[in-house]
Structure 1
Amino acid sequence: MSTRATNITDPEITIRTLTLNDIDVLAKIEQQSHISPWSAKVFQSSFNKHSVNFGLLQQGVLAGYYFAECIAGEMTLHNICVNESHQGLGFASRLMTHLLEQATQKKAEDIWLEVRPSNTSAIALYHKFGFEEKGVRKNYYSLPEPDSNGQTKEDALLMCLALNR
């Protein structure tokens, strides 16, 4: 499944279903972009019958992606990432728009996600799409090194978007 997106500065944008053949490129983008990147093994385990995994390509090059699952009317966004060299071009918004379209097609009632409170740009993106903060998972994420207070864990902010209510 592939959908065409329009971009005034570069019309060569496509969004397509990801496959296991994409794992090496996904892992490379992940390493460059995340504090605690997914391993190739985690990517591999994220392909299953409930998967909703799509990549955004610019001129045929994978520039961003998302991994989600839809089970029993509930979609969970597990990972969304845009390659550092492609950030600031609206690609994350395109991916989020595509995710919402997929959720609607799959008749999801809610989309849930977790995000680090320190990831303010992601939180702003989620708010832009109507996500609301629903709770906190204490000490959920590991930090690569202790912060200025000596903490080695970071909370996860739980966010949800209710669809069609």
Structure 2
Amino acid sequence: MPPPLRLRPTMLSDLDFVVTVEDDAANRPFITPWERTQHEGAVRFPDFRHFIVEAGADGSRSGFVILQGCRNPHRSVELKRIVLQSKGHGLGRACVRLLKAMAFRDLKAHRFWLDVKALNTRALALYASEGFVEEGRLRESVRLAADGADGYDSLIVMSMLDREFQARVALGQEGPP
């Protein structure tokens, strides 16, 4: 069972932590890191929701998440980024469940979507098990040029619609992780 989890709005004073977690060797292969100024913009711009993930009894910072499209007139909200320090303890699943509820209940999304690198098999399995449906692939759309690698990876676009979320709620699949 994952430790207690909560999301709180990211403050500018959290950005050193955010950049450090993003730059961690365990996370870097799976994301395209942002400059600090990009995170500052996401914290300030109303179309984004930038949150610190706090976990455990002490509420220590465990990562961060970013939603984009929160004011999208088409009600299509993107899970832009989820980056956690600790893996394999259920925090990712707990975060995804909180974010789905936020997207559909609070932001009134019609569609909640994301893209994920094909090499991130762990995340792909999590998103599929949480009801996200693969929509397509952007073949070789991101360059891999770290740790001596020089090549490309594909992005897999996945989404969930509000009616799919409501069906999962009705089936009891959207409770606590």
Within 5 Å, which residues of 2 pair with 1:11-160?
11=4, 13-32=5-24, 33-35=27-29, 36-47=32-43, 48-58=45-55, 59-69=58-68, 70=70, 71-72=72-73, 73-83=75-85, 86-104=86-104, 105-145=106-146, 147=149, 152-160=151-159
Local SS of the residue matching 1:21: helix
Quote the Cα distance in structure 1 between the aligned partners of 2:125 and 2:9.
Answer: 26
Identical positions, percent: 23
Give the TM-score normalised by the residue count of structure 1: 0.83
For structure 1, the 5+ residue unaligned runs are 1-7
1:19 & 1:134 partners in 2: Cα distance? 34
Q: Could you list the structure 1 runs, at least 4 aligned residues long, displaced by more than 4 angstroms after superposition.
A: 8-11
Q: Which amino acid aligns with 1:21?
A: S
TM-score by length of 2: 0.78
Q: CA RMSD in A?
A: 1.9
Per residue, is there more strand in 1 or in 2? Answer: 1
List runs of 5+ in structure 2 lacking aligned partners.
165-177
Specify whether residues 129 and 9 from structure 1 end up closer, same or farther in structure 2 by C-alpha distance, changes over 3 A only: closer
Higher helix share: 2
Aligned residues: 152
User: Quick one: which amino acid aligns to residue 34 of structure 1?
Assistant: R
Q: 1:82 deviation in Å?
A: 0.7
- Aligned to 1:55, the other structure's residue is in SS state strand
